[in-house]
Structure 1
Amino acid sequence: MSTRLRVHSPAVVYFDAVRRAGSIREAARRLFVASSAVNRQILKLEDEVGTPLFERLPGGLRLTTAGEIFARHALVVLQDAERARSELDALKGLRTGHVEIATVEGVTSDFMPTIIERAREHFPKVTLGVVTLGSRDIPEAVTSGAADLGMAFALQRSTGLRQIMVGRFRLGALVPAEHPLAQRREVSFATCAEYPLILAKTDLSVYHLLKPAIERAGVGDKGVVQSNSVELGKELARRGVGVTFQTRIGLEAELSAGTLRHIPLNDNGPVFSDLGIYTRTGRSLPVAADAVARLLADELAERELREARDIGEPLTD
């Protein structure tokens, strides 16, 4: 049985639940306690702190400036308690715990299922939660404590995030096997722009990676489709609607079956997208989260090596 560690006031747990839920009633429902119990703990906490932690608004509760300061303290306390609990469990040989992962859509078709299978094999008592977000939303999920680990493409450096591992992958044009570009070893964006394009919206990292090439080619927003879904872009490319741009991550089944071709871009040099694994700066991961992070890092390194072998030495367009 997992150790039930209670080294902090219930008020901290209730405060964090209200912060996440935005209301006392919803927090109480998630905690399986009475709303009055949650309200009493919040009022007690505000009395001890000496200032309101929430603004009471018609649409719900919102953190005050003092509440935001206390929220950072609560996050550290709760995450450190979870780490200690998991380490105590590990001493007993119990690899238990729950790990929340916020990840981009592209890794959910093959990469993440592989990780989940391995985690279930090696750590059957560890449960996993996976949510898909755009790369730009993942830092907030990790720094706020909503996720233990984040996986995202092309993240900017942030003081709030610690990079556990990063892999570099070639960005390429995605076309069906019968497309005129399909037999090329490399291709420029300008050459791709001679055909209908499926372009990414601004919340995807690929938009920002390709923005200079798009501007040089004078394409602007002239793509026949603009989408924030890599799965939709992949399917449209398979149907021959247009050329889209992705890494090989998430294309494993299609490339193996030969239904799609991934042609690395060479636009004044190779275009790379970094796929990184992140956690919150200063956080010591619980045993379960650290074990899953190691699985993610090992798989990321393996796929980076596999791509280098598959692509080989690049040729110019």
Structure 2
Amino acid sequence: MDKTMRFDLVSLSLFVAVAEEQNLTHAARRKHTAVSAVSKRIAELEQQVGTPLMLRMPRGITLTPAGHSLLYHARQVFRNLEKMEEELSDYAAGIRGHIRIYTISAALMNNLPRVVSDYLAHYPQTDIEIEEHTGISVVQGLLSGEADVGFFSSWTSAAGIVSWPWQHDLLSVLVWPTHPLAGRSELKFEDIIDEKLIGAHRNSAVSHILERQARACGKTLSVGLRVSSFISMAELVAQQLGIAIVPVNEVASSTLHSGVRLIPLAEPWAQRELLVGVKDYAQASPSVKSLIGSLIPCEPAEE
């Protein structure tokens, strides 16, 4: 015997309105429906689920535990319907896909533009939006659903995110040509820990890891200037206002000031992976899955 409950979308919509308004009359006015019709629909829902969903109070209604559960799932249903409608309208408009990307600057400065260009060459009717964020904001954007795909580093905590290695990155030291360290092929953290630094903003992953390593050495970093742009950091180094520690992928060699040297930081903790991630690969759109597949060697199998 089939005991599957089949819910009517109109009834669910009226139920959500009543739950949000906490008042039958206000919900009926919002949905342009008679109060008696709303009450009848709610009674039919309660009969269908076999338990009260609302308690009628003198000044309105309050949800029962079953009502709270139904409200949560009903909202999920309508969010999925909106997402379906948006995606199908994109197909109708000839876009055939919409991808929202949040990324750290390391990806945006180098290979991500080429990746997007190559992808659009194959899927020209896909609409792609790209926003630059800190690693933490990228992960938060994925978790909240504001972003479909995120690019962040392995230094960023990403609980709840499915991610795959994309590129390797390494911290390096920027010095001007006549700096005493300019002739070195690589540097250790102890070589630069007492130098005057030009730092990234305090919430950046680079700032956090450098401060953590300095504390481990019993030192405090001497940061004279902080700027959000790694290219600006390179220009300030060229003016001999301090040295800077930057991820290799943050600064393209073609953008460096003439004569500024980029020297690898030879520390295990200075190495990181650039990752590409999504919140739920199984629920991702076909456009997102095709983009992921173009980035990593093997597209992950769906569970």
TM-score range relative to shorter protein: 0.5 to 0.7
| Count of paired positions | 245
Amino acid at match of 1:279: V
Tell me: CA distance 1:191–1:106, structure 2 relative to 1, closer, same or farther (3 Å): same
State the SS of the aligned residue for 1:146.
Answer: coil
Q: Which residue of 1 aligns with 2:76?
A: 73
Gaps of 5+ in 2: 1-8, 17-28, 43-52, 56-67, 298-303
- Comparing both chains, which one has the higher relative contact order based on Cα–Cα distances under 8 Å and sequence gaps of 6 or more? 1
Amino acid at match of 1:245: I
Higher mean alpha-carbon deviation, 135-144 vs 162-171, is at: 162-171
1:182 aligns with 2:185: no
Larger Rg computed on CA atoms: 2
State the SS of the aligned residue for 1:142.
Answer: helix
Cα distance in 1 for partners of 2:231, 2:218 equals: 26
Amino acid at match of 1:136: I
Q: Which residue of 2 aligns with 1:237?
A: 237
Q: How does 1:1-317 map to 2 (within 5 A)?
A: 40=30, 69=72, 73=76, 77=80, 81=84, 85=88, 96-153=96-153, 154-159=155-160, 161-254=161-254, 259-267=259-267, 269=268, 271-281=270-280, 283-297=282-296
Identity in percent: 19
State the SS of the aligned residue for 1:294.
Answer: helix
Gaps of 5+ in 1: 1-7, 16-38, 52-64, 299-317
Q: Offset of 1:258 from its aligned partner?
A: 5.9
Cα distance in 2 for partners of 1:201, 1:141 equals: 20
Amino acid at match of 1:290: K
Cα distance in 2 for partners of 1:244, 1:81 equals: 47
Cα distance in 2 for partners of 1:67, 1:229 equals: 48
Contact 1:106-1:230 at 8 Å conserved across structures: no
Q: Offset of 1:108 from its aligned partner?
A: 2.1
Contact 2:166-2:295 at 8 Å conserved across structures: no
Amino acid at match of 2:80: V
State the SS of the aligned residue for 2:145.
Answer: coil
State the SS of the aligned residue for 1:213.
Answer: helix
Aligned Cα RMSD in Å?
A: 4.1
Q: Which residue of 2 aligns with 1:20?
A: none
Cα distance in 1 for partners of 2:293, 2:179 equals: 39
State the SS of the aligned residue for 1:186.
Answer: coil
Cα distance in 1 for partners of 2:294, 2:177 equals: 33
State the SS of the aligned residue for 2:163.
Answer: strand
Cα distance in 2 for partners of 1:75, 1:139 equals: 25
